[in-house]
């Protein structure tokens, strides 16, 4: 060994080489500088979170590292060697895998077929199913997920979390060194997030570099060793997670301290009469639901995934109606067997799944905003005499009310950011003059600043006397927004908590425990 070589070896030992490195990456899209001279290092055995507001450039950077996009300039080094991936498959084969928020699994194929798609073992020219399943089982075992997921299960029968594990299994089967996950927890429950975290720790000890994009800072702090913040395509900085707190990171993300993250709660005098009363209502899933919603309040509905939160919203809105019990809306006993009836009785429903239920992604913003007005016109007859032309005039006013930022209402909704899509979804209900609003996960998957503005909008509604029932799986949101909290468990309401209860009060009830802080209306009703 020459002296020169010796020196490099020593250097390497003291300063470990990044597994993956990007240098001076710039990427421009028409009208946007998505990445501006970004340089970053990703180390072996490290979980590196990349955070930033919507549009910060996170996904673009990940796609460049995974070969889905090509940078305009800059270089990528994999284990110190310059690489250029012209296709995701190439990146995959060299050990860089990416899992997108929208999965790429084939729903009608099995777990094993998906993991080894295009690489199936064959015997005499045909796919050897037995060997395929066996290989898949080995990979699932490596992840400790073999008891949870069978290689022969069809992917369309799996939960979001399970599908994610299949994606990870696929990456492992390629012997990936670098695994990139773009918002992996956005659709997961707390329990599933824990499973994912355990899996990530396992991969970390295998010496992989894990790159993790998330909006949820709590989770970022749970899992990440390093946190990088991007803003408007530029690198703001990289910090060791143990050296910073959420406030600092948020400050880096938005360039200011969000001291007003949640608007002030309602005051007693803001709450009016009961506008929605549910008496001993049940259906195939929900058991003996009792609740009261008052004018001007935000009633938070908490609970783990599967506890019946969404089912409750769907029952109230007539999507999956109650079978027994009675409901009073604005003082009158009403039967709601279909959403059209709920709309008629002035209810609005913002669904969890903006894409599938709330909005028509390929339709213009304008039409989406007027969706409910138009369906009301067909239900109620043409309440606006000159109809559609007049309602079109409402669009700029609505956009202003919800602060949708666009210069062109004819743009398709799909091209808006998540936060702006949510605002469009909200505006279509504002246009309908509903006075009871049900929000199911109003801010899931949207960035910190858009979240804050949705929260302000919700509080703005209650100030106008609108009653809000807000379902959320995010505890800070439940606690930060609710004037009262109902916690669901196993299809029923486990108890009620006052405003400003703690996360652990909520969690205790949500997991079927008792707390000292709650009153259980349903128990009382049962005793009567
Ligand atoms: P993030 O993942 O941080 O939300 P993205 O990387 O998706 O941000 O987007 C960064 C910027 O680049 C945004 O302004 C976005 O609109 C734009 N952009 C991303 N992908 C494309 C594309 N395929 N075509 C045009 N613009 C894009
Ligand atoms: Mg993204």
The stretch 74-85 carries a mean pLDDT of: 95
> What pLDDT, on the 0 to 100 scale, is given for residue 465?
92
The dihedrals phi and psi of 91, each to the nearest 5 degrees, come to: -60, -45
Q: What is d(CA 60, CA 5) in angstroms, rounded to the nearest whole number? A: 37
CA distances from 66 to 95, 164, 226 (A): 9, 17, 20
pLDDT at residue 15, rounded to an integer: 65
Model confidence at 90, pLDDT cuts 50, 70, 90, reads: very high
The pLDDT tens digits for 14-68 are 568 899 999 999 999 987 899 999 999 999 999 999 998 778 899 999 999 999 9
pLDDT grade, residue 150 (50/70/90)? very high
Model confidence at 163: pLDDT above 50: yes
356 pLDDT higher than 60? no
- Average of pLDDT values for 96-123? 89
Contact 205, 16 (CB under 8 A): no
CA distance 446 to 450: 6
pLDDT tier, 526 (very low <50, low <70, confident <90, very high otherwise):
very low
Query: What's the pLDDT score for residue 376?
Result: 54
Identify which ligand lies nearest to the alpha carbon of 63: 1
101: pLDDT strictly greater than 60: yes
Output the CA 99–ligand 1 centroid distance in Å. Answer: 17
How far does residue 34's CA lie from ligand 1's centre (Å)?
6
pLDDT of residue 385: 41
State if pTM tops 0.85: no
| pLDDT for res 390 | 57
DSSP 284: S
Q: pLDDT (tens digit, 9 = 90+) per residue, 438-451?
A: 999 888 877 777 78
Can you tell me the mean pLDDT for 383-389? 46
From the CB of 421, is ligand 1 less than 6 Å away? Answer: no
Of 26, 35, 55, the one to substitute when testing ligand 1's pocket (max ligand atoms within 8 A of C-beta) is: 55
Contact 29 CB / ligand 1 (< 6 Å): yes
| Percent share of the chain, pLDDT over 70 | 85
Name which residue leads in pLDDT, 10 or 58.
58
Read off the pLDDT band of 3 (50, 70, 90). low
Decide which of 62 and 392 is more confident: 62
Q: 3-class DSSP state for residue 323?
A: coil
């Amino acid at each position: 060994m020459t002296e020169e070589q010796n020196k490099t070896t020593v250097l390497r030992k003291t300063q470990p080489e990044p597994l993956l490195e990007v240098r001076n990456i710039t990427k421009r899209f028409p009208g946007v500088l998505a990445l501006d001279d970004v340089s970053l290092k990703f180390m072996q055995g490290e979980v590196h979170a990349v955070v930033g507001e919507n549009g910060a450039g996170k996904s673009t950077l990940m796609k460049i590292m995974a070969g889905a996009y090509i940078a305009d300039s800059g270089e990528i080094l994999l284990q110190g060697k310059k690489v250029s991936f012209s296709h995701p498959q190439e990146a995959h084969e060299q050990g860089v895998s990416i899992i997108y928020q929208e999965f790429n699994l084939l729903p009608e194929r099995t777990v094993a077929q998906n993991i080894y798609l295009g690489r199936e073992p064959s015997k005499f020219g045909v796919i050897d199913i037995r060997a395929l399943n066996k290989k898949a089982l080995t990979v699932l075992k490596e992840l400790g997920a073999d008891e949870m997921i069978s290689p022969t299960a069809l992917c369309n029968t799996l939960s979001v979390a399970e599908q994610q594990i299949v994606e990870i299994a696929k990456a492992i089967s390629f012997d990936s060194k670098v695994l990139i996950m773009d918002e992996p927890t956005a659709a997961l429950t707390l329990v599933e997030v824990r499973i994912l975290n355990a899996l990530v720790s396992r991969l970390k000890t295998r010496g992989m570099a894990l790159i993790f994009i998330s909006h949820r800072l709590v989770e970022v702090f749970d899992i990440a060793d390093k946190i990088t913040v991007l803003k408007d395509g530029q690198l703001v900085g990289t910090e060791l997670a143990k050296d910073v707190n959420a406030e600092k990171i948020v400050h880096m993300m938005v360039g200011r301290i969000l001291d007003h993250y949640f608007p002030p709660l309602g005051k007693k005098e803001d709450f009016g009469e009961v506008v929605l009363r549910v008496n001993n209502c049940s259906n195939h899933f929900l058991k003996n639901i009792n609740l009261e919603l008052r004018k001007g309040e935000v009633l938070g509905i908490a609970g783990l995934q599967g506890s019946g939160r969404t089912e409750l919203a769907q029952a109230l809105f007539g999507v999956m109606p109650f079978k027994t019990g009675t409901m009073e809306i604005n003082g009158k006993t009403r039967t709601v067997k279909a959403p059209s009836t709920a709309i008629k009785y002035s209810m609005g429903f913002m669904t969890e799944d903006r894409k599938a239920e709330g909005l028509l992604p390929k339709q213009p913003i304008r039409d989406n905003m007027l969706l409910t007005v138009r369906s009301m016109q067909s239900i109620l007859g043409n309440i606006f005499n000159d109809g559609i032309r007049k309602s079109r005039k409402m669009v700029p006013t609505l956009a202003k009310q919800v602060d949708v930022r666009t210069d062109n209402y004819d743009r398709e909704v799909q091209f808006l950011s998540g936060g702006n899509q949510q605002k469009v979804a909200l505006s279509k209900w504002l246009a309908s003059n509903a006075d009871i609003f049900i929000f199911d996960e109003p801010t899931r998957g949207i960035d910190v600043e858009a979240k804050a503005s949705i929260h302000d909008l919700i509080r703005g509604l209650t100030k106008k006397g609108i009653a809000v029932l807000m379902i959320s799986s995010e505890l800070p949101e439940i606690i930060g927004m609710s004037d009262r909290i109902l916690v669901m468990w196993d299809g029923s309401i486990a108890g009620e908590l006052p405003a400003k209860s703690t996360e652990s009060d909520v969690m205790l009830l949500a997991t079927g425990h008792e707390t000292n802080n709650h009153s259980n209306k349903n128990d009382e009703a049962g005793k009567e």
